[in-house]
Amino acid sequence: MNLNLDDSFKVRVSIGSAIVLGLINGKIDAAPTTIYLLTYHDGKCTANCGFCPQARESQGKANMLSRVVWPAFPLKEVLNKIPQAVNSRKIHRICIQTLNYPNFFQEVKKIVKSILSRTKVPISVSCQPLNREMLKELSLLGVNRVSIALDAATKEIFEKVKGSAIQGPYRWEKHIEALLTAVEVFGRNNITTHLIVGLGETEKEMISRIQWCVDNGIYPAMFAFTPIRGTKLENMPQPSLDSYRRIQLAHFLITNKLSDYRKMVFNQKDEVVDFGASKAMLKEVIESGTPFLTSGCPSCNRPYYNEKPSGPIYNYPRPLTTKEIKEIANQILKSFRNEDE
């Protein structure tokens, strides 16, 4: 593969990543600790996910992913900036997100090779389902983790937001198969998936999916649904913060093997009312603040991917303040008190 890059080979960079790399000037109150890149494509993605501004039928802006702006740069300009950011320990990972278009895989490989020929840094590739040969190629190139986003907690919701019901190319079974194959190729716990809270699932369905992921060696990265103008789901609300906090707590307990979905208790609305852990353990875990940080590949903090910096914050991209932890503890306790009444 010819790695000579001319200016026409572009890549999109999340605005926060571009500031950290020094590609543009700007102020950010929480710097990304992972550099987020998106393959550049002159046109829309061939997929049609209802929440995504890049979707085939979306009227959303081409330079957006979730609520974040991703300006385009010649790849070689970006490559010149990466080694210094890695050596200064400003960043600890690079995440390459892909759109779905004919030549995407060739371009992903070129980006991976170009980066690793300049510096040693863990790379995540966040992509559509790939077959075993393609997964092996990425592993041989030195890719550290692959993420194949399920996004939905159930097959029904999947088909509605990114599958057959929305004329999207994806099928639940194919996604599941690709995830399990990726675990075989990369090994347990080296594979990530994305789960979006607030697409119509119950807490029970989401927590059960989180458990399924962990049982199968897949790390579930949690996202809060974010309505984006011009997308099919632009009028849907964000999930309630109470519910999101309970799901974050369940996620932390399950991914850290401190509890298990099968030990948890749900009320008639399928909300979690018992986490299958002692009150002392819950108090300690909540007061650490850690469950409410962004979850994802190591060093993935995705600042303000699902919220404005002014809040309310779903995924904290930096350690929480004591005041924030107190507020969350009260929120969770209040939701339990409401449950007891």
Stretch that binds ligand SF4, among 38-46, 63-71, 196-204, 292-300 (CB under 6 A): 292-300
Nearer to ligand SF4, 199 or 325 (CB): 199
Nearer to ligand SF4, 82 or 286 (CB): 82
DSSP string, 209-274: HHHHHHHTTEEEEEEE----TTSTTTTSPPPPHHHHHHHHHHHHHHHTTS--GGG-EE-TTS-EEE
- Which residue of this chain has its Cβ atom nearest to ligand SF4 in the complex? 296
Nearer to ligand SF4, 85 or 95 (CB): 95
Pick the binder of ligand SF4 from 75, 121, 300, 332 (CB under 6 A). 300
- Closest Cα to residue 143, out of 99, 111, 165? 111
Nearer to ligand SF4, 245 or 302 (CB): 302
Decide: is 58 part of the binding site for ligand SF4 (CB under 6 A).
no
Nearer to ligand SF4, 50 or 317 (CB): 317
Find the angle CA(303)-CA(82)-CA(25) to the nearest 5 degrees: 60
Decide: is 66 part of the binding site for ligand SF4 (CB under 6 A).
no
The answer to whether the bond into 239 is cis (omega within 30° of 0) is no
Pick the binder of ligand SF4 from 17, 34, 48, 306 (CB under 6 A). 34
| Total chain residues near ligand SF4 (CB under 6 A) | 12
Decide: is 11 part of the binding site for ligand SF4 (CB under 6 A).
no
Q: How far apart are CA 83 and CA 79, in angstroms?
A: 8
Strand ranges in the chain using DSSP code E only, listed in sequence order: 10-13, 34-39, 64-65, 68-69, 72-74, 93-97, 123-127, 145-148, 191-197, 218-224, 265-266, 272-274
Least CB distance from residue 69 to ligand SF4, whole Å?
Answer: 16
Say if CB 259 and CB 251 are below 8 A apart.
no
Nearer to ligand SF4, 95 or 272 (CB): 95
Three-state SS at 74: strand
Decide: is 297 part of the binding site for ligand SF4 (CB under 6 A).
yes
Q: What residues have CB less than 8 Å from 101, skipping those under 6 apart?
A: 41, 43, 45, 46
Token representation of residue 259: 């509890």
Decide: is 147 part of the binding site for ligand SF4 (CB under 6 A).
yes
Q: How far apart are CA 341 and CA 332, in angstroms?
A: 15
Decide: is 95 part of the binding site for ligand SF4 (CB under 6 A).
yes
Pick the binder of ligand SF4 from 98, 114, 192, 315 (CB under 6 A). 192
Decide: is 32 part of the binding site for ligand SF4 (CB under 6 A).
no
Span 216-275, contacts to ligand SF4 by CB under 6 A: 221
Point out which residues bind ligand SF4 (CB under 6 A): 34, 95, 124, 126, 147, 192, 194, 221, 296-297, 300, 302
